[in-house]
Structure 1
């Protein structure tokens, strides 16, 4: 991976740095939001869940407009602007004593993170040839997972001293990147095409809805994100329902560590071999591993069993993520690449719904029913992905071969 980073131009490495440092800022604070909201605003668990989940959903929905802006404005200005919102969001959450303002700042930070994510992915399509894209997406996803692996440990140490420190350090990371990118960023970088006639946001939305491939991948992404978007949350819910708090802590600690280790060690190696030519086969393999992982969860009785199951599950994750990025980049018209990535970000809605649906399942059905439900979401999501990929392959064939 280090050799690949040396091979990329400085503008690409700076975009990759944004993924690492902004994700690190996010991971330092997010795990402690529940504790912070409980202690500072004396809220119950259900109320906290509604606030955090709603902020994630609103941020994901707004990111669709962020994709529209990506296709219309300078990438340099957008990254600076939304890194500013990222910084303000964390500072605001730290200093405000009003719950409604805290919610707005939480939405601001989630919206900013989602838009920067879209701008970076769209910029890769502009800066790198198709042959390099699977590799750079794998490098990016590895860096993101390094952030998520390291961040909670930093946050735990900071929160031990003062619950506001994680917010301030996350804000400092945002401010630091803002300054660095303001000085070193490529001011000419843009995914917008000035030759295209301006089109309204609603008109672009209608264009997206007519793309069968994008609709299939968006629906498939939302269904599958129910399973992999917040998998540690529903595993915790299941274990709290069926075992002791001590065993739950042991399993979750192992699951998080194994997930991060597998991604960091194998993401780049696996991702660089994923190609457009065999996209269907890669997606089938990825979703099969997801399904095997969930079956493993259902059968696990020891910490070792859970660790092995999550290792298999994570192998599916490191295949599906780069594959879906490559697919979206391939089908997206150059002047609408940002909107296409914005539509893909709607899969985060599935991630936000996962713990809610699993909570209802655990409350109303035998505990193992949750895994049957998750398996159904995997099969449904995989079918939509394969429908979109198969249609795309037929659509891309020359007319003489049809």
Structure 2
């Protein structure tokens, strides 16, 4: 993967580095947010979940307009401003003494990261031929998982030195990428390929709603994100409900490690083979692996079975994410790639709803029913993917 990474042009490498460093900065604060909200704002678990999940939901909705800006402005301008706001939001979170301001900073952190992510995807499509895009999407996703695997450990180490260091280091990383992109970023790149009048946001929104393929795939993405978007959250809920907290913590640590190792080891190997001509077979294979993994979770009675089920589940994740990228790439008009990727980003709404749905199921049904609900979500996602591809 490293040799292939070095083979890309400087603009592609810079986009990959930018998304990796910003994701790392975000991951550094992950283990600290719950503790920080509890200590400094005296929030309980439900209030903390509402803050973090609510910020993700608001940012996901706003990222649709961020995609529109990428289509109408220079990518260089959008990325430089977004990285600067990203850094400023961490400083604001550090300085905030009011919960509303802290929530606003969380929204800005998630939003600017999403906007840069969308800009990178649109940039890959502008800079690379179609047959090379699945490979770069896989590299990007692998690097993101490396960041999420390493970031929390850095955050914990920084917390041992000072409670505020995670925010400050994340802000410095944002400023570093702002300066780097300002120095080496491609200043002339712009998504629009002609000089025609730029359509208004409402006009673009009507176009998106009229594209049934995009609507179906966005619904499929949201449903599948319910399953894999925050799997650690609902698996933790299940394990705590059915066993002791100590056993739950041990099992989750092994499952997270299994997921991280599998993604880092196999994402590039598998993802680069996903071509635009065989998207539906790949997507259906990913859905089938999700179903097998969820079935394994529901029947697991030992740590080994849990880890094997997670291995199969992660293979589905490895397939589905780059395949979704490739489908959006195949249907997006050249001048609307940013807003199409912004629409795809709405699948994060499903990720935010996953723990809520599972919490309801655990509170009102037998615990194993949670996995049956997840399996229904997978089947419905597969149906929407099929409808989108058929049209």
* TM-score, length basis structure 2: 0.98
Partner of 2:72: 72
Which whole-Å CA distance do the structure 2 matches of 1:170 and 1:299 have between them?
Answer: 40
Partner of 2:232: 232
Secondary structure of 1:67's counterpart equals helix
Which whole-Å CA distance do the structure 1 matches of 2:137 and 2:361 have between them?
Answer: 35
Q: How does 1:244-323 map to 2 (within 5 A)?
A: 244-323=244-323
Partner of 2:85: 85
Partner of 2:5: 5
Answer yes or no: is 1:222 the counterpart of 2:217.
no
Secondary structure of 2:224's counterpart equals helix
**Which segments of structure 1 move beyond 3 Å, counting only runs of 4 or more?**
none
Deviation for aligned residue 1:307: 1.1
Deviation for aligned residue 1:11: 0.4
Answer yes or no: is 1:115 the counterpart of 2:111.
no
Secondary structure of 2:43's counterpart equals coil
Partner of 1:61: 61
Secondary structure of 1:301's counterpart equals coil
Residue segments in structure 1 that go unaligned for 5+ positions in a row: 392-402
How many residue pairs get matched? 391
Deviation for aligned residue 1:162: 2.2
Per-residue CA shift, 1:293-352, capped at 9, x if unaligned? 111111112222111111111100111111110110110000111110000000000000
CA-atom RMSD in angstroms: 0.9
Answer yes or no: is 1:23 the counterpart of 2:23.
yes
Deviation for aligned residue 1:186: 1.1
Partner of 2:210: 210
Partner of 1:397: none
Partner of 1:399: none
Which whole-Å CA distance do the structure 2 matches of 1:316 and 1:378 have between them?
Answer: 11
Which whole-Å CA distance do the structure 1 matches of 2:85 and 2:298 have between them?
Answer: 41
Partner of 1:199: 199
Which whole-Å CA distance do the structure 2 matches of 1:94 and 1:284 have between them?
Answer: 44
Which whole-Å CA distance do the structure 2 matches of 1:31 and 1:301 have between them?
Answer: 29
Deviation for aligned residue 1:51: 1.0
Partner of 1:185: 185
Partner of 1:400: none
Which whole-Å CA distance do the structure 2 matches of 1:135 and 1:5 have between them?
Answer: 10
Answer yes or no: is 1:326 the counterpart of 2:330.
no
Which whole-Å CA distance do the structure 2 matches of 1:32 and 1:296 have between them?
Answer: 32
Answer yes or no: is 1:136 the counterpart of 2:164.
no
Partner of 2:377: 377
* TM-score, length basis structure 1: 0.96
Q: Is the 8 A contact 1:19 1:117 kept in 2?
A: yes
Secondary structure of 1:132's counterpart equals helix
Partner of 1:32: 32
Residue segments in structure 2 that go unaligned for 5+ positions in a row: none
Q: Is the 8 A contact 1:196 1:335 kept in 2?
A: no
Per-residue CA shift, 1:146-171, capped at 9, x if unaligned? 00110111111112232211111111
Q: Which moved more, 1:120-129 or 1:273-282?
A: 273-282
